[in-house]
Amino acid sequence: MYLSARERHIIQYLIEAEQGITIKEIADRLNVSTRTIHRDIQGIEQMLTQYELTLERQSGVGLKLTGRDTKKIELKELITESEPNEYTPWERQQLLLSILLQEREPVKLFTLAKEIGVTIATISNDLNKINDWLQSFDLEMVRKRSYGIEIQGDEPKKRMALRRLITDKVSEEELVSILESYRLKSELGEQASEKLLYLIDLNVILKVLETLHELRRDGEPIADVSYVGLAVHLSLAVDRIKRGEKIEKHSEGFEKVLKTNEYEAAKRLVKKLEETFSIDIPQIEVAYVAMHLLGAKQGDDGSFFFQETSLDIAMRAKKLIEAVGVRTEVALINDHSLLEGLISHLKPALFRMEQGMKIYNSMLPAIKEGYAPLFNTIKECVVEIFPTWSFPDEEIGYLVMHFGSAIERSKKKAVIKAIVICSSGIGTSKLLATRLEKEIPEIQGITHMSAFDITQDQIPDHTVVISTVPLMSIDPYFLVNPFLSKKEVDRIRQYIHSYNWNPNNKTKEQAADAKEVSKMEHQIDAESASDDKWAKETVLSELGHIEQLSSLINSVLSHFKLKSWPVCESLNELIIQLAKDQEDSSLVRNSELVADALMKREELGGLAIPGTTLALFHTRSDAVDIATFTVHELEESMLLRGMDNEDTEVKRILLMLAPLEWNREGLELMSFISALVIESSESIRQFETGDEQEIFTLLEKKLKEYLITKLQK
């Protein structure tokens, strides 16, 4: 947490006043109001707990600092030690921003100059330069003689600016490393303090991370790729709320957010935070947490096509793949992994752009340099496919990572297990994985894991761990750049070759060579018994997944039907009849609950598929026992809202129902069926006009291929 010059003076007065000191005495010495001192004291008390010190309030005496003398000495050394730092102009300007964004009252020019250790003229010049940066966040700097300097603007904009300051100073990888080091040592190194500019209270963020970990362990779907960003967002919110800085007004789209699943998840998360920090968090703050969840990159759970509005995005993603494939002369259209990755990224990306939420891509310079032709190609294609959207370069950069991964994958032929750990997103993770497989053909069967969840006992023998994030509790592992330099490739390759991955051939010399190559102790205990046990468990687990998938496919096919419906007066009436039909077939237990869920889903956004006469109605509910996919033909077409929010004439409704609590195999299967609908112009035609037998034959053929693909994997 940042300590201003005034706060340091207050702490100094408290340490020196052994008999106590009043608020008024402190205010008089610093020439500010008692109200200002009261507010500063609140923040100081949080900091004092780190030194096992407390403030006693005694009538007639004022404030008295209590605790061990050794801790008071440590605290005094903290606020008086070190000579003035030398900053680059931009570092100095970042420090100015961090001070002004956290102050609730105007700050005098001479105070800032003294705080940073430069002249008033230098500070004045820096203030001129940071004004444009502030305006990019719709914030205004107010400078008045005898008033001071103050940053004015909405609280969400200030938090956005603070987050940007943090990401400018420290990458997600560095922050993970700082947090892990701080958790183990309970202290913050000087370099880390410089990087964070005291913008974030590490005690707060560690508690937030513990809360997130508990929720995810209890089944809350918090994506790993948004973990750090969400933790920073929540930590800043908690700190700002404690300081009395609350969001006062709703943003555009607030009402829409209240109806989303993310809002329900945000409520559960906020309730836990209220318990952890003993604070009250207003409803409007819950909505902003939900907006962050909506704007975060989604987890790779295989359910992309079974989510709200994803089918429209899927169609655009397919067009984007086609366009980029034509320009790069690489066959990408059948790369299902690329399609899933793009949908996973595009859905929250479009929401971010719609809400004016900024995203920071620390790898953008490297992407532009290393993938310049592909970057420009994708930028051109995005303009064609998304004409009404303005994609910033940061978003284009993430798309490049997805396409770069796919292009690399199309060139390679992959034979050693590996665990890949990244913090920057699905695109980064997949790009690193495919580069590994390309550069080191011996690696096959890569698993992606979370830096926050992985433990030593989760790593099977003879598995290489490769991470873009420092791992304090894992040994051995390779720390690499997401783009995997030639030097890093050589290190990993030499380790693999020197070790030979054969427990019977392992020698001390090989182990020593490997240790020298990787700069760490790369000696793995190789006991064939544990290998056999692990292999047996893996085979049984895989067979179980295949058995589940086979059963699901059989169920979907056996319950498939095409049914015609007479004219209905309204969409709600039609939905009620569709749900009742499923109940009559003993596929759902309560048709009213299912109908209600379908209606609520339609309220969130249109379900008609643009450019077709089809609409995809889908939901997951506790009232659904058996997953089904059915087609319903209307005697008279209906005008329904499309996924692009345009009215669309619909002649057939595709109905997809699934249990609320469902396994990954089920979600992936329904996602596959959804994708099948828009796979090609021929598949669209079949679903629009085909009879029951024709559609069943298509489903049977494609689902058999899907099962075979899973078996081959």
pLDDT of residue 649: 93
Q: CB within 8 A of 530, min separation 6: which ones?
A: 461
Decide if pLDDT at 525 tops 50. no
Q: What is the mean pLDDT of residues 640-661?
A: 88
Q: What is the mean pLDDT of residues 279-293?
A: 86
- The reply to whether 274 falls in a domain is yes
Q: Helical H runs in 519-628?
A: 528-558, 571-584, 591-604
pLDDT of residue 184: 62
Q: What is the mean pLDDT of residues 465-476?
A: 82
Q: Which two tokens stand for residue 22?
A: 């009043």
Q: CB within 8 A of 284, min separation 6: which ones?
A: 246, 247, 248, 249, 250, 254
In percent, the amount of the chain with pLDDT more than 90 equals: 20
Question: Are 340 and 445 found together in one domain?
Answer: no
Q: Rounded CA gap, 381 and 396, in Å?
A: 10
Q: Rounded CA gap, 273 and 267, in Å?
A: 10
- The reply to whether 233 falls in a domain is yes
pLDDT of residue 42: 83
Higher-confidence position of 457 and 628: 628
Residue 70's SS3 state is: helix
Q: Rounded CA gap, 314 and 302, in Å?
A: 13
Q: Which two tokens stand for residue 255?
A: 């009402």
Domain boundary among 296, 322, 352: 296
Mean pLDDT value across the chain? 79
Question: Are 518 and 551 found together in one domain?
Answer: no
- Residue-wise pLDDT for 177-187, tens only, equals 766 666 665 55
Q: What is the mean pLDDT of residues 127-135?
A: 90
Q: CB within 8 A of 289, min separation 6: which ones?
A: 233, 234, 237, 266, 269, 270
Q: What is the mean pLDDT of residues 594-620?
A: 87
Question: Are 681 and 559 found together in one domain?
Answer: yes
Q: CB within 8 A of 120, min separation 6: which ones?
A: 109, 110, 113
CB atoms closer than 10 angstroms to residue 686:
19
pLDDT of residue 173: 65
Q: Helical H runs in 136-260?
A: 155-169, 172-185, 190-196, 202-217, 227-242, 254-257
Q: Which two tokens stand for residue 116?
A: 């940073």
Decide if pLDDT at 84 tops 50. no
- Output phi, psi for 330, to 5 deg: -120, 130
CB atoms closer than 10 angstroms to residue 537:
11
- The reply to whether 618 falls in a domain is yes
Decide if pLDDT at 634 tops 50. yes
Query: What confidence tier does 533 reach under pLDDT thresholds 50, 70, 90?
Result: very low
pLDDT of residue 644: 75
Taking alpha carbons only, the member of 601, 576, 604, 603 closest to residue 590 is 576
Q: Rounded CA gap, 255 and 246, in Å?
A: 19
Beta strands in 80-178 (DSSP E): 140-144, 148-152
pLDDT of residue 626: 87
Question: Are 321 and 289 found together in one domain?
Answer: no
pLDDT of residue 501: 47
Decide if pLDDT at 485 tops 70. yes
Q: What is the mean pLDDT of residues 633-659?
A: 90
Question: Are 565 and 708 found together in one domain?
Answer: yes
- Residue-wise pLDDT for 413-432, tens only, equals 435 788 888 765 555 677 78
Decide if pLDDT at 596 tops 80. yes
Among the ranges given (68-72, 310-314, 562-566, 690-694), the one the predictor scored with the smallest mean pLDDT: 310-314
Question: Are 551 and 681 found together in one domain?
Answer: yes
Query: What confidence tier does 690 reach under pLDDT thresholds 50, 70, 90?
Result: very high
Decide if pLDDT at 543 tops 80. no
Among 455-459, 650-654, 673-677, the range of highest mean pLDDT: 650-654
Angle of the 692-712 helix axis to the 681-689 helix axis, nearest 10 = 140
Contact 317, 342 (CB under 8 A): yes
Q: Rounded CA gap, 696 and 558, in Å?
A: 10
Task: Specify the CATH number for the domain of residue 46.
Answer: 1.10.10.10
Higher-confidence position of 641 and 221: 641
Q: Beta strands 463-467 and 562-565: pairing type?
A: unpaired
Q: What phi-psi label fits residue 639: left (phi over 0), alpha (psi between -120 and 50 degrees) or beta? A: beta
Question: Are 454 and 351 found together in one domain?
Answer: no
Query: What confidence tier does 504 reach under pLDDT thresholds 50, 70, 90?
Result: very low
- The reply to whether 141 falls in a domain is no
Q: CA-based angle 231:233:238, to the nearest 5?
A: 90
Contact 47, 74 (CB under 8 A): no
Burial-class residue 367 by CB neighbours within 10 Å (0-12, 13-18, 19+): buried
- The reply to whether 193 falls in a domain is yes
Contact 431, 482 (CB under 8 A): yes
Query: What confidence tier does 399 reach under pLDDT thresholds 50, 70, 90?
Result: very high
Decide if pLDDT at 595 tops 80. yes
- The reply to whether 316 falls in a domain is yes
User: How far, in Å, are 321, 406, 682 from residue 334 at the CA level?
Assistant: 9, 10, 15
Higher-confidence position of 39 and 248: 39
- Residue-wise pLDDT for 343-396, tens only, equals 878 888 888 887 777 777 777 888 888 889 999 999 999 999 998 888 999 899
Task: Specify the CATH number for the domain of residue 289.
Answer: 1.10.1790.10
Higher-confidence position of 297 and 700: 700
Residue 713's SS3 state is: coil
Q: Which domain holds residue 491?
A: 417-526
Contact 373, 400 (CB under 8 A): no
Query: What confidence tier does 574 reach under pLDDT thresholds 50, 70, 90?
Result: very high
- Residue-wise pLDDT for 57-78, tens only, equals 887 778 999 998 888 888 887 7
- The reply to whether 132 falls in a domain is no
Question: Are 554 and 678 found together in one domain?
Answer: yes
Q: What is the mean pLDDT of residues 210-221?
A: 76
Residue 425's SS3 state is: coil
Q: Rounded CA gap, 579 and 587, in Å?
A: 10
Q: What is the mean pLDDT of residues 19-36?
A: 85
Question: Are 582 and 468 found together in one domain?
Answer: no
Q: Rounded CA gap, 141 and 127, in Å?
A: 9
Residue 144's SS3 state is: strand
Query: What confidence tier does 205 reach under pLDDT thresholds 50, 70, 90?
Result: confident
Taking alpha carbons only, the member of 451, 410, 446, 402 closest to residue 428 is 402
pLDDT of residue 87: 66
Taking alpha carbons only, the member of 706, 710, 708 closest to residue 673 is 706
Among the ranges given (371-380, 409-418, 449-458, 604-613), the one the predictor scored with the smallest mean pLDDT: 409-418
Domain boundary among 54, 80, 106: 80
- Residue-wise pLDDT for 230-262, tens only, equals 888 888 889 888 888 888 776 666 677 777 778
Number of domains in the chain: 5
Q: What is the mean pLDDT of residues 453-465?
A: 78
Domain boundary among 56, 80, 104: 80
Contact 204, 47 (CB under 8 A): no
Question: Are 664 and 574 found together in one domain?
Answer: yes
Task: Specify the CATH number for the domain of residue 614.
Answer: 3.40.930.10
Question: Are 484 and 554 found together in one domain?
Answer: no
Question: Are 181 and 328 found together in one domain?
Answer: no
* Cis check: omega of the bond before 476, within 30 degrees of 0: yes
- The reply to whether 562 falls in a domain is yes
